[in-house]
Structure 1
Amino acid sequence: MLRPILDEIFSLLSNGEHYKVHTLAAHLQAVELLKQLDDDPSQDLFKRNFVLMNSLYTLQSELIEDDIYLHIDSMDIYLADKGQAPELNTPLSTYYLDWQNYQIDNEEIAALLDSFWQRYAQSFHHPQNTLSKANLDELCLHWQLTQPLEEKTIRRRWRQLAIQYHPDKGNHDDTRFKQLQNEYQQLLGHIKLN
């Protein structure tokens, strides 16, 4: 199953361009190498991502033997010279190369997604998290939240929106997703300040 995926990823990366995980996933879906893996949308998204990341780390370990370094970061994947290779045995590679991690429950998936996007959001500069009353009311209306806000409710709604608008779904770009992530941080920031 993985060999055609590995070959397709290598072929794409061989052009010297940089890719994101969701653009690779969308391409693999378009060429029918990464088909639906579960009826549950959360499980399907996780399993597709797991197969893709497993493929990337497998390819990385194969290519390093040929003095080629495959840089793997969710938002920046590319081929480079082996001289640029950092330590390849990372907790993330260990996780994705272990097929026992392929089967997890939806609660664990939600926690992993939440953790990933929080780390991702922290890598960018975000505007001040204080919201005016009008902006807060507008966000609550847009997110279909009632006030007073509770962290648990915001997180639950974020997970629903994250699955709906995730770029890996293929029908959304990452601009809308990033906007939702920013709004999520603003809503959480508002709770923590009040």
Structure 2
Amino acid sequence: MLNPLIDQIFDLILTKQVWQVHILASELINNGAIKTLDKNPERDLFKRNFLIMNALYQLQIQIHPQTLLISTLHIELLQKGNDQPLITKTNLRDYYLDWKNYDTSTEDVDALLNSFWGQFKRQSAISTLTQKNYNELTIEWELPNNFTLKELQKRWRQHALKNHPDKPGGCEVKFKKIKEEYEQLKKATR
């Protein structure tokens, strides 16, 4: 199925090299290309974003995958001569290219939005830590990828018991350091 927004989005990304989905949505609404798609505000937001992402992925296929970088918060039309292979999340692309997902239930939309905002908050917290420090801490703390707050709390308690200044072999400096690391990692789980 051909997305009705492809031409409008293509025209917009030609005018500016870098976009974000919500800015594209605002432009499309202001141009009259997108109207209200659902009475439920969350489903309306989902359907609008679905159409935009679907159009972007169709464009990516049409113009060449190495030319259009697409992520949730960053869309960029790359200049010619960029030989860097793009890492594309095929499961995300496949999801948005499957028109059956356009008519998602309200419950599924709520779950998707909650998941998105959870990942967004985690990424914001990680960016303050720096990705390198975050990766080093998760390895040092022996945490799995996408660890939960419960997993982090368990590791914190183990480290705290081992390093508490009142315990034999404990160290106040080490204890303060792991307390700081715990607080930083905790922000990444919110």
Q: TM-score range by the shorter chain?
A: 0.5 to 0.7
Quote how far apart the aligned CAs of 1:85 are: 3.9
Structure 1 counterpart of 2:112, one-letter code:
L
1:78 paired residue among 61, 64, 76: 76
Partner of 1:144 in structure 2?
A: none
| In structure 2, C-alpha distance between the alignment counterparts of 1:42 and 1:94, rounded to whole Å | 22
Structure 1 counterpart of 2:64, one-letter code:
I
Quote how far apart the aligned CAs of 1:15 are: 3.1
Partner of 1:116 in structure 2?
A: 116
| In structure 2, C-alpha distance between the alignment counterparts of 1:78 and 1:2, rounded to whole Å | 22
Partner of 2:33 in structure 1?
A: 33
| In structure 2, C-alpha distance between the alignment counterparts of 1:58 and 1:24, rounded to whole Å | 16
Structure 2 counterpart of 1:9, one-letter code:
I
Partner of 1:14 in structure 2?
A: 14
| Runs of at least 4 residues off by over 6 Å | none
Partner of 2:159 in structure 1?
A: none
Say which structure, 1 or 2, has more relative contact order (CA 8 Å, 6+ apart).
1
Could you tell me whether the CA contact under 8 Å between 1:70 and 1:78 is conserved in 2? yes
Structure whose alpha-carbon radius of gyration is higher: 2
Post-superposition Cα deviations, 1:57-94, rounded to whole Å, max 9, x if no partner, equal 001110107xx611111221111146234254610000
| In structure 2, C-alpha distance between the alignment counterparts of 1:4 and 1:108, rounded to whole Å | 24
Q: Is the alpha carbon distance of 1:47 and 1:75 closer, same or farther for their aligned partners in structure 2, counting shifts above 3 Å?
A: same
Q: Percent identity?
A: 39
The two structures have a TM-score, normalised by structure 2, of 0.60
Post-superposition Cα deviations, 1:21-64, rounded to whole Å, max 9, x if no partner, equal 00000100111111111112122111111111100100111010
Post-superposition Cα deviations, 1:146-186, rounded to whole Å, max 9, x if no partner, equal xxxxxxxxxxxxxxxxxxxxxxxxxxxxxxxxxxxxxxx98
Quote how far apart the aligned CAs of 1:101 are: 0.7
Give RMSD over aligned pairs: 2.8
